[in-house]
């Protein structure tokens, strides 16, 4: 009975996974235009609400704890004691400028620990509240998984601080139920997780998108496994790899691997590649890499699932330094400019829509087909790009560029790590996925997106103008805000935090107001499938100033031909009728 329940639970979660894919980019200080560490993240889910989380730092009352929940259902998990003091966290960056993002992969389905006490989100949040560096975050994630059990599928974490960027991949050990006769209770003999973390070499970039990407890794030359005896070496500069002590032994015990240790590949052993993992996941990594690194054409067949042996490298060296603006543009990728561009096949409809509604795969005449899965997708709850900047103190140096809804149609607003609160329109609990609030950022951005989706190619340029207006102004503001905040910080750090709060909150709320204005403009301009002519946002009227000048955009010729091919003469207009038939 117990095994039957476990199997049913696993099937349920497998079916749920396609709704929760994410795309993450990692940029080291040496690869960024301003010397900052940067990571990106997108919370892609059909049930996720876009809001900016805020965890207040400082001393904690005795007995304070962190309540872990399963992100996929909100099931309560473990209560984990908090230390005497924690760090403030804005979204997914803390006041020490440690930032964490993620993407989920399934791997071996039997490795989901159904008795675990903390999931991937809980690991991220607790680590951010307690970790002063990226390496400490890795240690804390490993310790928590070992102590409480890992209630999740496989996970790839992006972990950054002002000096380093790491990729960490983790998967549970399943549920091996045993009975303790002395305590008279059952327990999971395999509680914990297996994992490995690699530091991205400075000057390089990496990415992950719902498939494990760490393959082989060195087991010596200064690299360490996490045991109590080796914690003192955690921060030594020569340590470039950190891993669970049993990451290989457990694979052998499960009969996943039987080769020499030096040939052990985390990805190949714990999450074997297949067509779907390549086409739906690795293609997103390839699409980002090809924009900044020459020679990526050699991996196109791998990314598209046609040659699974030619694996892409975990990291590449970009030809140029990358900026926040670059990462924002990458987040808006839908394979444009390639043979797989979503706007170029019949699924885009007559107005070039780069989206495909779910399900991702379907069956027809006994065959399985699919839609492309790209970085930009309609079901994103929220996304961000973080900057961790070593030349500034934590409250100023850490920035999370935060946006809600579809990355392609969103606006990224800078929220400093030192702010005292989130903007009301973005804050946690202001509306929900089941509660519409007309001025909540998530709902305002969604109603604009859905309006644009209807006739994408006609409306997207209007959206792009306002999007660029806002994001360009934010990028111009930030250097001046940095300078003013530093002057205040040198006099009184608390004044600097007040100043940063005022800036971020006002920019967040203004963005929502400006997007509401965009919605009203689009509604008027494109009412009933027409287009009202306008110049610089002012609608043109007839000579008496009463009525608008209206145009009727025509369907593209290929679409009209498709209608005729499918319907024959059903819609053929008969110019003249036979006189006898009239009589």
What is the pLDDT confidence band of residue 136, given thresholds at 50, 70 and 90?
very high
Contact criterion met (CB below 8 Å) for 46 and 62: no
What does the pLDDT look like over 414-426, one tens digit per residue? 999 999 999 999 9
Q: Is the pLDDT of residue 46 over 60?
A: yes
Contacts of 264 (CB under 8 A, 6+ apart): 216, 247, 248, 251, 257
- How many of the other CB atoms lie within 10 Å of CB of 215? 17
Which range, of 3-12, 252-261, 453-462, averages the lowest pLDDT? Answer: 3-12
What does the pLDDT look like over 257-284, one tens digit per residue? 999 999 999 999 999 999 999 999 999 9
- Pick the closest to residue 63 from 81, 78, 80 (CA basis): 81
Q: State mean pLDDT over 316-341.
A: 97
Backbone angles phi, psi at 402, to 5 degrees: -115, 135
Contacts of 382 (CB under 8 A, 6+ apart): 42, 43, 48, 50, 51, 52, 402, 403, 404, 405, 442
Q: What whole-number distance in Å separates Cα of residue 316 and Cα of residue 292?
A: 9
Q: What residue ranges do the domains of the chain occupy?
A: 2-23+68-322+330-351, 535-582
> In this predicted structure, what is the pLDDT of residue 225?
63
Task: State the maximum Cα–Cα separation within the chain, in Å, rounded to a whole number.
Answer: 102
Q: State mean pLDDT over 507-528.
A: 98
> In this predicted structure, what is the pLDDT of residue 227?
52
> In this predicted structure, what is the pLDDT of residue 15?
39
Task: Give the orientation angle of helix 456-491 with respect to helix 324-331, to 10 degrees.
Answer: 150
Q: State mean pLDDT over 471-488.
A: 98
Relative to beta strand 185-188, strand 193-199 is: unpaired
- Pick the closest to residue 521 from 510, 534, 508 (CA basis): 534
What is the pLDDT confidence band of residue 575, given thresholds at 50, 70 and 90?
confident
Q: What whole-number distance in Å separates Cα of residue 64 and Cα of residue 567?
A: 68
Alpha helices for 261-343 (secondary structure H): 266-270, 275-277, 283-289, 300-303, 324-331
Contact criterion met (CB below 8 Å) for 504 and 433: no
Contact criterion met (CB below 8 Å) for 320 and 292: yes
Q: State mean pLDDT over 482-510.
A: 98
- Pick the closest to residue 200 from 30, 398, 23, 327 (CA basis): 30
Of residues 222 and 275, more confidently modeled:
275
- How many of the other CB atoms lie within 10 Å of CB of 225? 17
Averaged pLDDT score across all residues of the chain: 93
Of residues 184 and 384, more confidently modeled:
384
- How many of the other CB atoms lie within 10 Å of CB of 265? 18
Q: What is the DSSP letter of 25?
A: E
> In this predicted structure, what is the pLDDT of residue 222?
57
Q: What is the DSSP letter of 22?
A: -
Answer positive or negative: Cα dihedral of 332, 338, 344, 345.
negative
Tokens of 130: 């307690």
Q: What is the DSSP letter of 296?
A: G
Contacts of 564 (CB under 8 A, 6+ apart): 571
Q: What whole-number distance in Å separates Cα of residue 407 and Cα of residue 331?
A: 6
What does the pLDDT look like over 159-173, one tens digit per residue? 999 999 999 999 999
- How many of the other CB atoms lie within 10 Å of CB of 440? 24
Tokens of 68: 């872990």
Contact criterion met (CB below 8 Å) for 361 and 369: yes
> Could you give the percent of the chain with pLDDT greater than 90?
89
Q: What whole-number distance in Å separates Cα of residue 426 and Cα of residue 489?
A: 26
Q: What whole-number distance in Å separates Cα of residue 389 and Cα of residue 416?
A: 12
- Pick the closest to residue 216 from 313, 124, 336 (CA basis): 313
> In this predicted structure, what is the pLDDT of residue 542?
93
SS3 sequence of 348-402? HCCCCCCCCCCCCEEEECCEEEECCCCCCCCCEEEEEEEEECCCCCHHHHCEEEE
Q: State mean pLDDT over 360-375.
A: 96
Q: Name the residue with tokens 């803390």.
A: 94
Contacts of 241 (CB under 8 A, 6+ apart): 196, 197, 198, 199, 217, 218, 223, 224
What does the pLDDT look like over 425-465, one tens digit per residue? 999 999 999 999 999 999 999 999 999 999 999 999 999 99
* Omega of the bond leading into 359 within 30 degrees of 0 (cis): yes
> In this predicted structure, what is the pLDDT of residue 221?
59
26-37 burial, b at 16+ Cβ within 10 Å, e below that, comes to bbbbbbbeeebb
- How many of the other CB atoms lie within 10 Å of CB of 219? 15
Query: Which strand (E) or helix (H) includes residue 123?
Result: helix 120-130
Contact criterion met (CB below 8 Å) for 383 and 442: no
What is the pLDDT confidence band of residue 17, given thresholds at 50, 70 and 90?
very low
> In this predicted structure, what is the pLDDT of residue 26?
98
CA distances from 24 to 30, 106, 113, 206, 387 (A): 18, 16, 25, 9, 14
Contact criterion met (CB below 8 Å) for 40 and 25: yes
> In this predicted structure, what is the pLDDT of residue 6?
40
> In this predicted structure, what is the pLDDT of residue 2?
37
What does the pLDDT look like over 330-349, one tens digit per residue? 999 999 999 999 999 999 99
């Amino acid at each position: 009975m117990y095994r039957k329940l476990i199997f049913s639970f696993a099937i349920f979660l497998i079916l749920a996974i396609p709704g929760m894919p994410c795309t993450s980019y990692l940029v080291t200080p040496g690869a960024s235009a301003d010397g900052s560490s940067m990571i990106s993240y997108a919370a892609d889910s059909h049930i996720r609400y876009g809001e900016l989380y805020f965890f207040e730092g400082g001393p904690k009352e005795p007995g304070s704890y962190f309540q872990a929940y399963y992100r996929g259902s909100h099931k309560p998990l473990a209560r984990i004691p908090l230390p005497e003091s924690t760090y403030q966290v804005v979204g997914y960056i803390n006041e020490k400028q440690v930032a964490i993002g993620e993407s989920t992969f399934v791997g071996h389905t039997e490795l989901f620990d159904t008795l675990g006490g903390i999931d991937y989100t809980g690991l991220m949040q607790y680590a951010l509240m307690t970790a002063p560096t990226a390496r400490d975050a890795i240690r804390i994630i490993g310790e928590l998984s070992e102590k409480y059990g890992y209630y999740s599928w496989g996970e790839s974490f992006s972990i950054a601080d002002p000096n380093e960027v790491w990729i960490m991949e983790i998967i549970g050990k399943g549920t091996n139920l045993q009975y303790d006769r002395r305590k008279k209770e059952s327990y999971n003999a395999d509680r914990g997780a297996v994992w490995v973390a690699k530091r991205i070499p400075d000057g390089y970039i990496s990415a992950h998108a719902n498939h494990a990407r760490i393959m082989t890794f060195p087991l010596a030359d200064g690299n360490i496994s996490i045991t109590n005896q080796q914690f003192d070496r955690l921060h030594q500069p020569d340590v470039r790899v950190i891993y669970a002590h049993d990451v290989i032994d457990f694979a052998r015990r499960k009969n996943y691997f039987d080769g020499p240790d030096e040939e052990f590949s985390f990805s190949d052993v714990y999450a074997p590649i297949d067509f779907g993992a390549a086409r739906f996941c690795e293609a997103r990594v390839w699409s980002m890499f090809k924009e900044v690194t020459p020679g990526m054409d050699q991996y196109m067949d791998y990314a598209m699932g046609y040659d699974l042996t030619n694996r892409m490298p975990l990291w590449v060296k970009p030809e140029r330094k990358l900026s926040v603006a670059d990462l924002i543009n990458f987040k808006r990728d839908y394979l444009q400019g390639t043979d797989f561009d979503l706007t170029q096949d019949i699924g885009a409809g007559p107005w070039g829509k780069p989206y495909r509604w779910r399900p991702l795969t379907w069956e027809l005449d006994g065959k399985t087909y699919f839609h492309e899965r790209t970085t930009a997708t309609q079901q994103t709850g929220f996304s961000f790009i973080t900057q961790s900047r070593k030349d500034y103190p934590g409250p100023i140096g850490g920035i999370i560029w935060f946006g809600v809804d579809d990355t392609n149609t969103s606006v990224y607003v800078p929220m400093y790590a030192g702010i005292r609160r989130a903007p009301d329109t973005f804050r946690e609990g202001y509306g929900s996925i089941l509660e519409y609030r007309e001025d909540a950022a998530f709902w305002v951005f969604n109603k604009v997106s859905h309006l644009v989706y209807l006739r994408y190619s006609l409306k997207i340029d209007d959206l792009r103008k306002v999007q660029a207006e806002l994001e360009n102004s934010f990028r111009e503001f930030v250097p001046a805000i940095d300078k003013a905040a530093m002057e205040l910080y040198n006099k009184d750090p608390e004044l600097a935090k007040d100043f940063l709060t005022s800036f971020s909150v006002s920019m967040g709320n203004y963005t929502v107001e400006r997007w509401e204005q965009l919605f009203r403009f689009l509604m008027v301009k494109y009412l009933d499938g027409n287009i009202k002519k306008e110049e610089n946002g002012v609608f043109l009227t007839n000579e008496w100033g009463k009525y608008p000048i209206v145009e009727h955009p025509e369907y593209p010729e290929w679409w009209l031909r498709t209608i005729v091919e499918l319907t024959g003469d059903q819609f053929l207009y008969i110019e003249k009728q036979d006189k006898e038939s009239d009589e």
